Amino acid sequence: MTENHSLFSDYDVVYTYTRAQAIADGALVDVTRTARAAGLRFPVALTAELWNSFIIPPRESELNCMSIDGRLWTTLYLFRCAAAECESDMLCFDVPYVMKGRAQTLVKLKAVCGPGDSGEPVITIMLPYED
By C-alpha distance, which of 122, 61, 51, 64 is closest to 98?
A: 64
Q: Which has the closest alpha carbon to 122: 1, 22, 13?
A: 22
Sorting pLDDT into bands at 50, 70 and 90, what band is 60?
low
**Whole-angstrom Cα distance, residue 125 to residue 131?**
9
Q: Residue 124 and residue 8: Cα distance in Å, rounded?
A: 24
Q: How confident is the model at residue 62 (pLDDT cuts 50, 70, 90)?
A: low
At residue 109, the 3 state secondary structure works out as: strand
Provide the percentage of residues in the chain whose pLDDT is more than 70: 89
Which position has the higher pLDDT, 65 or 131?
131
pTM summary value? 0.86
- Taking the C-alpha atoms of residue 29 and residue 48, their distance in angstroms, rounded to an integer, is 6
Give me the mean pLDDT over the 113-122 stretch.
94
Domain extents for the chain?
19-126
Question: Is the model's pLDDT at 90 over the cut of 70?
Answer: yes
